[in-house]
Amino acid sequence: MKRLLLSTLFGIFGAIFLISFCFADLSGSLDEQHILLRIKPEGEVNVEAGGQPVKSAGVTKPVVTDIGQQRYEKYCHICHEGGLAGAPKFGDKSDWAPRISEGMDTLFEHALKGYKAMPPKGTCMDCSDEDLKKAIEYMISHSK
């Protein structure tokens, strides 16, 4: 009788032990997923959505919601990324400082109508005035 009780007890403890092992293993693999998510290459992670990747049509892509950034990346970066034809370079403080001091109105006027090698509207013909201002602001805010 004692033996039966003992082996039942052992059985129960054994089962509990095994079950807790399963749970430990499960949470371990969840942690691993989180770590993998955190060390994902930049660009694959949408920071605005709190670091969660956004799936669109099966592709993990960052979502650009800033209209200024959208316009910049589509139209302006062609010249302003590397300083083509003397364009003030994106992120270059010394390129932008004298231009920023002209004031936003002048910058906008030049961007809208064109200025020396800078084409009118920076080739973005479907940009509204507001879009153009946002694109300039985007460039400026990353260059001072």
Q: From 21, 138, 129, 40, select the one nearest 91 (Cα to Cα).
A: 138
Nearest to ligand HEC of 53, 119 (CB atom): 119
CB of 37 to ligand HEC, least distance (A): 34
CB of 86 to ligand HEC, least distance (A): 5
CB of 117 to ligand HEC, least distance (A): 4
Cα angle value 136/137/140 (rounded, 5°): 85
| Interface contacts to ligand HEC, rule CB under 6 A | 71, 75-76, 78-80, 84-88, 99, 102, 106-107, 110-111, 115-119, 122-124, 127, 132, 135-136
Residue 45 carries which DSSP code? S
Maximum alpha-carbon separation in the chain: 101
Residue 115 carries which DSSP code? B
Q: Which residues pair with 15 in a beta bridge?
A: none
Residue nearest to ligand HEC (CB): 122
Total Cβ atoms within 10 A of residue 82? 10
Nearest to ligand HEC of 54, 67 (CB atom): 67
CB of 98 to ligand HEC, least distance (A): 8
Cα distance between the two ends of the chain: 84
Nearest to ligand HEC of 45, 111 (CB atom): 111
